[in-house]
Amino acid sequence: MNDRNAHLLELDSGLLRGSLDREPFRIGHQLSGHPLFATERLLALCRALPEECVEYNAGSVEVGQDPSLTPRTGLSAEETVRRIAEEQSWMVLKYVERDPHYRDLLYDCLDEIRTVSEAVSPGMDRREGFIFLSSPRSITPFHMDPEINFLLQIAGSKKMRLFDNADRGIVSEEELERFHSEHPQRNLPYRDEFAARERVFELGPGDGVHVPVTTPHWVEVGDEVSVSFSITFRSDVSERRAGIYAMNAALRARGLRPRPPGLSPRRDELKYFLFRAGRRLGLTGG
């Protein structure tokens, strides 16, 4: 457990208050060198997690990679951890909070964020942690994620290219609806003209970046093996927005042209009510 007097994260509380889940910003942390990120400990975690929580593939992919054509390496998950320096690979260990040691670390970090975040975006929920292992120079294709994320760089370096999550010229309403639908597709189509609108965050050990929900991004790893820890959560606002998009996806599938969230409070309220009612009845996911 964390010594309550020691901080794991270096956070500017004014920046956190003003920019949380609105725009990306840098943070610092004290987790590099933590024993939970040593290779043997990660191997033990890899063995303990259920198969569906360990995803890995070849690291030599394109920025605009079609996920159905993502190449495999032929290695097992454990071989991937052991040989990540020489075999071009990308791996994510998902929901690491299933292990109590990682859960304690995740919760200790998020508790530091929560001291500020509840005042601006209440309802911290679904606290989930992900550990990414990537070979030197591997690429994570252009995509977005459903969580409010703080990515902490533990070892090696990464260049994160982030885009404005409100820019509908990069991700359209229909793509956002699909993303929140029952059959989401994680990767996004990338066009070279997007490059002029990127914000680049270069991260080394001890650095981190806040990634607001559904911020489009792609990632390039530097010359060494990269280990990153993603500490994530949802809020009342992010859950509500996801529910409205899920309803919009269902409405568009029935031939309608739904209004994006935020334009009509009354309709948003009704959609979110219906989404939650459907979820209670097992009709909608989430």
Give the integer Cα–Cα distance in Å for 205 and 104. Answer: 21
Question: Least separation, in Å, of the C-beta of 38 and Fe ion?
Answer: 24
Query: Which phi-psi region, left, alpha or beta, contains residue 57 (left: φ > 0; alpha: ψ -120 to 50)?
Result: beta
Question: Least separation, in Å, of the C-beta of 143 and Fe ion?
Answer: 6
Please report the DSSP string for 105-163 in residue order: HHHHHHHHHHHHHHHHS---EEEEEEEEEE-TT-EEEEE--SSEEEEEEEES-EEEEE-
Question: Least separation, in Å, of the C-beta of 145 and Fe ion?
Answer: 5
* CB nearer Fe ion, residue 128 or residue 145: 145
Closest CA to 227 of 118, 151, 149: 151
Give the integer Cα–Cα distance in Å for 139 and 126. Answer: 28
Question: Least separation, in Å, of the C-beta of 156 and Fe ion?
Answer: 16
* CB nearer Fe ion, residue 209 or residue 250: 209
Query: Do 36 and 102 form a contact (C-beta atoms < 8 A)?
Result: yes
Question: Least separation, in Å, of the C-beta of 144 and Fe ion?
Answer: 7
Question: Least separation, in Å, of the C-beta of 4 and Fe ion?
Answer: 31
| Residues in Cβ contact with 96 at an 8 Å cutoff, skipping those fewer than 6 apart | 45, 49, 102, 103, 106, 129, 130, 131
* CB nearer Fe ion, residue 111 or residue 202: 202
Question: Least separation, in Å, of the C-beta of 141 and Fe ion?
Answer: 10
Question: Least separation, in Å, of the C-beta of 265 and Fe ion?
Answer: 30
* CB nearer Fe ion, residue 73 or residue 214: 214
* CB nearer Fe ion, residue 216 or residue 258: 216
Kind and range of the H or E element at 275?
Answer: helix 265-280
* CB nearer Fe ion, residue 96 or residue 250: 96
* CB nearer Fe ion, residue 108 or residue 145: 145
Contacts of Fe ion in 22-41 (CB under 5 A):
none
Strand order in the sheet with 226-234: 9-10, 26-29, 207-211, 148-155, 226-234, 125-134, 89-94, 54-58
Contacts of Fe ion in 198-217 (CB under 5 A):
none
* CB nearer Fe ion, residue 145 or residue 207: 145
Which residue number places its CB atom closest to Fe ion? 145
Q: For residue 243, give Cα distances in angstroms to 1, 123, 169, 272, 275.
A: 35, 15, 22, 6, 6
Contacts of Fe ion in 99-158 (CB under 5 A):
145
Residue 177 interacts with Fe ion (CB under 5 A): yes or no: no
Give the integer Cα–Cα distance in Å for 196 and 139. Answer: 19
Query: Do 223 and 138 form a contact (C-beta atoms < 8 A)?
Result: no
Size of the site for Fe ion (CB under 5 A): 1
Binding site for Fe ion (CB under 5 A): 145
